[in-house]
Amino acid sequence: MTRESDHVEINQDRNPFLFSGTKVSDGYAKMLITSVGMNTTWGEMMSTISQDTNVQTPIPAQLDKLTSSIGKTASTIVVDAIPEGLPLAVASTLAYLMKRMMANQAMVRRHSACETMGFATTICTDKTGTFRLNQMKITKFWLGKECIEGKSYVSIAANVLELLQQGVSNMTGSVYMSSASGLEFYSSPTEKAILSWAVLELNMDTEKVKQNCSVLHVEAFNSEKKRSGILIKKVEDDMVHAHWKGAAEMILKRCFHYYNFEGNVNSLNNWMKFDQIIQGKGASSLRCIAFAHEQFFELEDVNPNG
């Protein structure tokens, strides 16, 4: 709501409220609406912004001094007309600047914002000295011991592709089709990157995948285990499928097999090879996320500790 990138944890005891205008990036819950419209926190903020504080901004203050000076020294009708035209000219200029800023995807609610930025001499950034979009993107995808990029995605084995789509669609946010901007993805930056990659690169139909599965249990992301999980049952069979997603080094420790490029299951004998891949990507400042899958005959057979 404040446009800050940090996530706010909702706790049933200490912080149980969801604010209108915010987005749920992770987790599951039931919601009870207690206020709408101008009675919400967002509505109160908007009403405060729309109130006229009668605070004079720098440019009108300087124009008042200028027009007063011109008015005092004016001796002809032409010169006397200048003070009346100056505020209109400045207002027109600021309106034009607002349109240019909107074209650059910068929303300006008040003319005074353009004035304020015009007087700015120093911009404070973080230690890297850069501005970030708070967006992430999948740059590398490893299947077994092979790195797959670009057009190679279409050659992923059908059984592996199905498992990837099941895990991604049920654990990584939601997709919304907007008439204005097309597909929009809602989740944390990491999961939005995974979700957009699956939809745009793997041609995943989120709704179709979800319709073919029924969710039995969801384990939200745990900061200690560094993973999240879900239990599902497919419509066409009675098997219980467990999907895990999390930090690659944590997922790797609990795996005994892996899928190769052809979709065959191999024993994970040389796990050091995979650990070297993970360490190498971490050294390149890349965040490594792994997916794991296991199937069971009965729900009672599932190990809660993975």
| 126 part of the active site | yes
Domains of the chain (ranges plus CATH)?
58-118 (no CATH), 141-301 (3.40.1110.10)
Q: What is the pLDDT of residue 26?
A: 66
Region of poorest pLDDT, from 24-28, 68-72, 124-128: 68-72
Do the beta carbons of residue 26 and residue 187 sit within 8 Å? yes
Q: Using CA atoms, how far apart are residues 257 and 264, in angstroms rounded to an integer?
A: 10
| 3-state percent breakdown (helix, strand, coil) of the chain, nearest 5 | 40, 20, 40
Q: Using CA atoms, how far apart are residues 162 and 42, in angstroms rounded to an integer?
A: 41
Q: Which of 156, 173, 160, 163 is nearest to 232 (CA)?
A: 163
Q: What is the pLDDT of residue 291?
A: 92
Phi, psi of 61 (to 5 degrees): -65, -45
Q: Using CA atoms, how far apart are residues 90 and 120, in angstroms rounded to an integer?
A: 18
pLDDT, tens digit, for every residue of 87-146?
A: 777 777 777 877 787 777 777 777 677 777 777 788 777 666 666 667 788 888 888 888
Region of poorest pLDDT, from 95-104, 143-152, 171-180: 171-180
Q: Using CA atoms, how far apart are residues 295 and 265, in angstroms rounded to an integer?
A: 13
- The residue-averaged pLDDT of 4-18 equals 73
Buried b / exposed e over 104-126, threshold 16 CB at 10 Å, is eeeebeebbbbbeeeeeeeeeee
- The residue-averaged pLDDT of 286-306 equals 79
Phi, psi of 103 (to 5 degrees): -65, -25
Query: Tokens 């990157």 appear where?
Result: 193
- The residue that leads in pLDDT, 63 or 293, is 293
Q: Indicate the SS3 state at residue 294.
A: strand
Which of these is catalytic: 52, 126, 237, 238? 126
